[in-house]
Amino acid sequence: EAGLVLRGTEVKSLREGQITFKDSYVTVQNGEAWLIGCHVSPYHHGSDANHDPERRRKLLLHRRELQRLVGKVAERGLTIVPLRLYFKEGRAKLEVGLARGRKLHDKRAVLRERETPREMDKAIRARVRG
């Protein structure tokens, strides 16, 4: 569990569920944890001073928690990724976890599994039409 440093319009967007974690990860630089690649949509009632949707956001962790995560990332080749965002006593919290990236052959297998049902659906639709 990590706290997030946010701007006012970001909090309002998060309360509306306007967040995307796709391709986002956590990196540690100069002893601080940063959430990168996370998209928080601009608040629709915001003014010109709305936040940058793709900006890096600082995570608030206890020193020991941060050191433990950094140690695991360094020794095992893992990545810190965001799992879910929730509010606790009015403050935005981010649940983070350790994950291992997919190898190229794993990615190919996943793509193959996705393609098979699509091809079957196409064949069924073509047969029904034709």
pLDDT tens digits, one per residue of 6-42: 887 888 888 888 888 888 888 889 989 999 988 888 7
**CA nearest 29: which of 58, 2, 1, 6?**
58
> pLDDT value at position 64?
93
According to DSSP, the residues that pair with 80 across neighbouring strands are 26, 98
- CATH number of the domain enclosing 15: 2.40.280.10
Both tokens of residue 105?
A: 């052959």
Q: Are residues 58 and 116 part of one domain?
A: no
Number of domains in the chain: 2
User: Which pTM value belongs to this model?
Assistant: 0.69
Residue numbers of the domain that contains 108: 101-130
pLDDT tens digits along 96-122: 888 887 666 677 777 888 888 888 888
Residues 52 and 109 placed together within one structural domain of the fold: no
Query: pLDDT per residue over 39-68, tens digit each?
Result: 888 777 766 667 777 888 899 999 999 999
Q: Which two tokens stand for residue 30?
A: 């100069």
